[in-house]
Amino acid sequence: MSAQRKIAFIRKGRVPLANVSTAKTLQTYFPEYKVEEIDLIPLLRQNKPLIASNAWAMLREYSADLATRRRGVKEVFLITSYIFKAMKQIVAEQLRGDDYVFTFQMQSLFDASVAGIPHFVYTDHTVLANRQYPGYTPKQLYHPNWMRLEPSIYHNARLVFTRSSHVSRSMIEDYGCEPAKVKCVYAGSNAPLNPAPAPPERYASQNIVFVGIDWERKGGPELAAAFALVRAVHPNATLTIVGANPPLTDPGIQVVGRVPLAELPQYYQNAAVFCMPTKREPFGIVIVEAMAYGLPVVTTNLGAMPDMVIPGENGALVSPNPLDVTELAHALTSLIGDPECCRRFGERSRKIAARYNWDTVGQRMREEIEKVL
């Protein structure tokens, strides 16, 4: 009896959680094959000569970034041109002599394609997409040696799956990919999405919820400033901050900090509005989660946000460049002052969120990959 044929699933660590979810989705929708997970991080760590050589590459390409602490050692280690080429070689060695139906890589830090094996990429960003975000400077790009290699990630793949339309546009406009080669399949949620009935008074609660770890990047300070303006109109309004732990003691603000994923749903269910005025966001899975729990959303008009939020239907998009505290406060004030509007927008959010689930992603990937195979 012949051995079961395999899919090589290549990732860099188990974080973000989408790495784990995508591997499970592939196994579910390709049950005839075995999904073999190949994590490049342990393979890199055990190769001492490679680490030493890459240390020199880090100094050659990012010495200024390291000296000014604009980038840390962990980030720089994975974005040298040397490590890019080394990871490609490591993948080829790992796959040699075995029978793989296709290879599938997560994200855009390396090129895991191997000659003779159909290869697929699934990503939520490109480096050149950074140019769309507020405050962009060329220093945010990687070293030119690495940037010259990045297009090979996409051009060596048979298909590139993306999580949002703005990344699909970047593939086509910034990297010259054929439109037929780029497939936006979105992504699923990491939190449980089987909500129990929410309290009927939730939309009248005037409770705004924020979920995110990176307080600064996700617009937390601006949200806190906007909330002070909201309280001037709605004195009973509250702001619940989950994930981040900023030192705020203002009236009406509750800082929860980090919670287990299993506890996150209660914060969505007890809110009237979700707000995360992010300044840089490749995807924003928490917005999908909030929508699935029936919340109207106020966020910024960048990245994948316009795919999720339709102004006047399920929330509001505010300008991110610059992020205007008054505009943000106006959007929040209008919503929490109208419980019926919140309910109506929340129902629309549920319908839009239905396309953001791993079953839908898996079905679409299966259909597209079968066409290639």
Residue length, the chain?
373
In a domain, residue 328? The reply is yes
pLDDT of the residue at 195: 61
Do 53 and 143 fall into the same domain?
Answer: yes
Greatest CA span in the chain, whole angstroms?
74
Q: What percent of the chain has pLDDT over 90?
A: 83
- pLDDT band (50, 70, 90) for residue 191: low
Q: What is the span of the domain harbouring residue 335? A: 202-353
Banded pLDDT at 334 (limits 50, 70, 90): very high
Residue 196: pLDDT above 90?
no
Strand bridging mode 273-276 / 253-257: unpaired
If asked whether residues 347 and 361 sit together in one domain, one would say: no
The pLDDT of residue 193 is above 90: no
Q: Mean of the per-residue pLDDT values for the chain?
A: 93
Q: How far apart are CA 131 and CA 121, in angstroms?
A: 22
Residues 161 and 237 grouped into a single domain: no
Tell me how far apart the alpha carbons of residues 122 and 364 are, in angstroms, rounded to a whole number.
12
List the CATH number of the domain containing 207.
3.40.50.2000
Same domain, 150 and 229: no
Tell me: the pLDDT tens digits for 68-113? 999 999 999 999 999 999 999 999 999 998 889 999 999 999 999 9
Query: Residues 130-144: pLDDT tens digits?
Result: 888 888 889 889 999
Task: Give residue 285's pLDDT band: very low, low, confident or very high (50, 70, 90).
Answer: confident
Question: Could you tell me if residue 193 is inside a domain?
Answer: no
**Higher per-residue confidence, 265 vs 253:** 253
| 249 and 135 assigned to the same domain | no
Q: Is residue 1 part of a domain?
A: no
Judge contact between 301 and 320, C-beta under 8 A.
yes
Average pLDDT of span 283-303: 92
pLDDT at 2 exceeding the cut of 70: no
Confidence of residue 14 (pLDDT cuts 50, 70, 90): confident
Question: 247: which DSSP letter?
Answer: -
Same domain (yes/no): 259, 309: yes
Do 170 and 287 lie in a common domain?
A: no
